[in-house]
A = this chain, B = another copy of it.
Amino acid sequence: MAKAKANLKLIEPRLDAETRIHDDHHVSVRLWLRLLACTNRIEGVVRQRLQADFQTTLPRFDLLAQLERAPQGLRMSELSQRLMVTGGNVTGVTDGLEKEGLVVRETDPSDRRAFKVRLTPEGQRQFGRMAAEHEQWVIGLFKRMSPKRKNQLAELLGELKTQISQSPDA
């Protein structure tokens, strides 16, 4: 299987966000499409591994990850705001996880008309196993880059993130 994939790569160059670059594209557009290509590639691996190893999806993993950071629970609106990946329907994903006993909806003590969602002990346990594996996948994907280059990349992305936040569009 790995062999077949390797052969395929020799015949056909990988298509990605950068495939559509024109010669006359501005350097910023090229940079954006390259950033998108890197993100898509890593996200693709994470999606595949979550499916293969845990029969789960990235929006589910993402939702559990946000709840794990908020032991007091989150309102649905807060949860939507924090999700990292697109393509997940927050209500649908929450319903599914609740049915499986990984999350619960509870009345918000500070506002009895509102609900909060939080992890159950079983949800914590299952997420813990997935998060440990997830960390290993990501470490594996970045392992060919030297620590020095990783720091440079983190610094440049930090700079970009701050600059974009200052943009009137963001």
Contacts and interface: CB of A to CB of B under 8 A. Distances in A.
Contacts of A157: 31, 34-35, 38, 153
Interface in A118-170: 134-135, 137-145, 147, 149-154, 156-161, 163-170
Contact of A141 (B65, B140, B170): B170
Copies in the complex: 2
B165 A14 contact: yes
A99 interface: no
Contacts of A68: 20
A88 to B, nearest CB: 9
Interface in A58-89: 65-66, 68-69, 81-82, 84-87
A54 interface: no
A119 to B, nearest CB: 13
A98 to B, nearest CB: 21
Given A26-B139, A154-B30, A157-B153, A164 B38 contact: yes
